[in-house]
Amino acid sequence: MQYRELGRTGLKVSDIGYGAWGIGGAGGGWVGAQDDESLRALERFIELGGTFIDTARGYGRSEELVGQVLKRHEGEGLIVATKVPPKNGSWPARPGTPVEEAFPGDHIRASLETSLAASGLDAFDVVQFHVWSDEWVGKGDWLETVQALKAEGKLRHFGVSINDYEPENALELIRSGVVETVQVIYNVFHQQPEEQLLAACQEHGVGVIVRVALDEGGLTGRITKDTTFEEGDFRNHFFKDDRPAQVEQRVQALADDLGIAVDDVPDVAIRYVLSSPAVSTVIAGMRTVRNVERNAATSDRDALPEAQLAKLTAHRWERNWYRDE
């Protein structure tokens, strides 16, 4: 496992992180996770040198399960991030929404206290707002509350999770010097963060946590025109109608262009994201030991050749399937 600086926080994190959304159960939007297997997967991640774990208050039982594992690994330098959900329950943050409706100070404090109780931790290394709008810079009492919670030792570093497919909607916050990490969607299909966000993060020492590097499974090569999901799984919406067939065609074209097997696409997709020096860690969802071992192995592989990176640029495919389109 390789390690990178998490911006200016002074923390070093494994470049492959553990995305703990999928282990939370139905409450987190993914269906089919088994606690025993999820716990084995997280233990295997740590055994292989993984140090960064990302969870959230809104991920069902995820914080609780992460906490169970962390109790067995105290003092081993694991770094844990969680997220405060917006009080108004609106994902993403809608333009014109007052910050007082999403992140008033009393809500931030109450959410963090609940997360600490669920996980059994005394503090989180990183606490992130689960949505963000640059309209909120300089408004409300959220910053005062974050600073107070830092002073109380309940959080060490502050970050935000940027709205889906809106990487420019945190540039003002980044330039303000207030935020220490951002979490953003970035993958072979969604290359927009390369336009402004990544350079701004490097300039201001902001750590970049990449989510959805495999396009919610689209870049695993396992989504085909015949793919179905269990009832209640959010991917029934994400991959609705003819979208699985579109993904299958796109992934096959990518594999053909690079001269690789479809099974090798996820490794290449993660290495593509890690090719950016601005990226600190990629949080992959890993509900099974098999997926942990496969993704961890990617960390040890060489950087992608420039010729492959150039070819992957041509496979940009911008769209937002979280919303109805």
Q: Indicate the domain borders of the chain.
A: 3-220+267-305
DSSP state of 311: H
Task: Reply yes or no on whether the pLDDT at 27 is more than 60.
Answer: no
- Model confidence at 287, pLDDT cuts 50, 70, 90, reads confident
| Model pTM score | 0.96
The confidence score (pLDDT) of residue 284 equals: 87
**Looking up tokens 């810079």, which residue turns up?**
137
Tell me what pLDDT residue 325 has. 58
pLDDT category at 31 given cuts 50, 70, 90 is: low
DSSP string for 66-126: HHHHHHTTTTS--EEEEEEPPTT--SSPPTT--HHHH--HHHHHHHHHHHHHHHT-S-EEE
Q: Taking CA 88 as the corner, what is the angle to CA 84 and CA 91, rounded to the nearest 5 degrees? A: 70
CB contact at 8 A, 85 and 74: no
As a three-state string, the secondary structure of 24-83 is: HCHHHCCCCCCHHHHHHHHHHHHHCCCCEEECCCCCCCHHHHHHHHHHCCCCCCCEEEEE
The mean pLDDT of the chain is 94
Confidence band, pLDDT 50/70/90 cuts, at residue 212: very high
Q: How confident is the model at residue 33 (pLDDT cuts 50, 70, 90)?
A: low
pLDDT digits (tens, 9 = 90+) for 224-279: 999 998 888 888 999 999 999 999 999 999 999 999 999 999 999 999 999 999 99
pLDDT of res. 34:
75
Rounded mean pLDDT of 173-196?
Answer: 98
Checking if the pLDDT of 51 tops 80, the result is yes
- Own/partner pairs for 228-236, CB < 8 Å, 24+ apart? 229/31, 230/31, 230/32, 231/31, 232/26, 232/31, 233/29, 233/30, 233/31, 233/32, 234/29, 234/30, 235/30
Could you tell me what percent of the chain has a pLDDT over 70? 97
Dist. CA 209–CA 42, nearest whole Å: 18
Asked if the model's pLDDT at residue 29 lies above 70, the reply is no
Report the pLDDT averaged over residues 130-146: 98
Bridge partners (DSSP) of residue 285 are 19
Give residue 79's pLDDT band: very low, low, confident or very high (50, 70, 90): very high
Which token pair is 292? 């942990």
Q: How would you label 214-230 residue by residue, b for 16+ Cβ within 10 Å and e otherwise?
A: bbbbbbbbbbeeeeebe
Domain 3-220+267-305 CATH assignment equals 3.40.50.800 = no
Find the helix or strand (DSSP H, E) in which 149 lies.
helix 142-151
